[in-house]
Structure formats: structure tokens, C-alpha cells
Amino acid sequence: MLLQCISFIDGSSKNRKSLNKQELLIRSLTGVCLVALTLGAIIYSPYTFLALLTIIGFIGTKEYFTLDLVAPRNSLIYFIALLFSLIILVAGIFLIREQNPVVLIILLPFLISAIVLLQLLVINSPEEIVRKGKTIYSAASYIILPLMCGTIFLMGSYSYRYVLIPVILIWVNDVGAYMFGSALGTKKIKPLISPGKSLQGTLGGVFITLLAAFILWRLWPDIEVGYLTTLAFAIPIVSLSGDLWESALKRNAGVKDSGNILPGHGGILDRYDSLLFVLPFAALAYFIFVL
């Protein structure tokens, strides 16, 4: 994600050479701003971290509906994305205020069922009903549920370091995978989905991630070792899965990017695809080793 954000070594050298100076400048500025906003939101306060999760939920859901070939001009898309993101927001506020968010967790499947019911009332085509129903359910499982898992970090006393660790390890893993993949990558993992991903790059990402985790442990010796170790081993595989899944979605939709909200970079899902897969693992490790 870091490489993608800053964009100096994003993609192949051929793609980089095709960018003119103005495009490179736009990509670089957007990337630096996105990295700064992400870090700032995590570090500044639990409310800004929650705002980040909510924004990713709203924009990411809207982008996903488009990628899953649902008509992007349908106003219902914005309504569903708003409802889903509000659940994340209110659940997070409940946790910050040390209140029980169980009702809101139950509300998510209730809303999905209610929306599908409305579809059944207004759509006559079985194929269209099934297609849109699948999209609603899959958007909730791919985007909203992982982000709700992220609100677990708001339980008790918020410590930004526990949120920052998985984000840093995702970025470092991307750096390691790119470096080793560029130099040694011959065995492609899924060439039809993401031609740039290689076995050698993945193994290099594992090595660099483990090294970064050790450095973080030395930097923050009070961090729970079980939490850090779990993420160090899980993130290279989980992050890769998130990246490949989003690449498959784009190839299926026949598009280069998930959206166009980020100048020179595409959409929110292009930048946070790995995080959506990593958050549930990080939240579970946080619940087991920290809370």
C-alpha cells in the first residue's frame, strides 16, 4: 500500500515510464497526502480513526457496487453505503463511550434483509434480484464487517500503536514483495489476476515483514509479543489475498481502478484492499493478546 500510495515504485517500470511529469507529480502528491491522512487519523485520536473507518466504508461500498456490475447511477447505492457506514460510526462511538454495541451489530444483518426485501417488492426479474442481493451481502462481508472488526481497537483505552502496527507491516510487506519480486521473481502466483505477484516476491515480503516486526518490538518493548508475532506471520499471506481479490474484482468488471476519487491512484479499494483483509486478523489478535 505504501508503494502504491507514494507511487514512485508502483507497478512495472514500463508503467512508470509511461507517466509524464505532471501525472507523476499528481500521483506523488496524492500518495503523500493519503499516507499522511491515514497516519494522522490513526495517531491523533480514536474519533479520527473511527472517521477513517467510516469514510472507507462509505466510499468502498459504493465502489464495490460498481465493480460488481450493479448500475452505478442507482441512488439506492448511496443510500445503502450511507446506512452501512453509519453502523460503523455509531458502533465505534458506543465503544469509545464504553457502551454495548450489540444492538448495532445485530442491526447490520437486519438492514441487509430489509434491503433485499425491498428489492423483492420492486424487481420482477429473478436474475436481477439474485445479482443485486448477492452484491449487497458480499459488500457487507467484504467491506463493512472487517471495518466493524476495526472498531474493536476502540474498546478500553485506545492505543494508536496497536492500529499502526498492522498498517506499517502491510506497507513494509509491499516494499519487500516488490523488491524481491523485481529482482528474483520468476514464479508467478496468479498471472491471470495479478501478473506482478510472484512466489519469490511473497517470500521476500515475509522476510522483510518479520524483520520489521522485530524492529517494532525493539522500538516498543511494551507491545504484546503475541500480537506482534501473530501479525508478522499472518500479514504477508492475508495482505496478498486482499490484493488478489480486489484485482480479480477489477478484472471481472473490466476496469483498471476501483474508482477515481484519488487523482492518479484510482479508488479507495485500490489503496485499502489489503487492510480490509488484515483488520479481522488484527482485531482477533488484539482481543486475544491485549484486551
Check residue 274 and give its pLDDT.
95
What is the sign of the dihedral through the CA atoms of 245, 246, 247 and 250? positive
Q: Are 94 and 104 in contact (CB under 8 A)?
A: yes
Residue 34, CB half-sphere, CA atoms under 13 Å: how many? Answer: 26
Mean pLDDT of each 10-residue bin along the chain, 291 residues long = 44 47 81 93 97 97 83 73 93 90 78 84 84 88 95 94 97 92 87 90 94 96 96 96 94 90 87 96 96 89
Residue 1, CB half-sphere, CA atoms under 13 Å: how many? Answer: 30
Check residue 116 and give its pLDDT.
83
Check residue 196 and give its pLDDT.
86
Cβ-proximal residues to 214 (8 Å cutoff; 6+ apart), any chain: none
Q: What is the CA radius of gyration of the chain?
A: 19
Amino acid at 71: A
Q: Determine the Cα–Cα distance for residues 58 and 141; give it in Å rounded to an integer.
A: 14
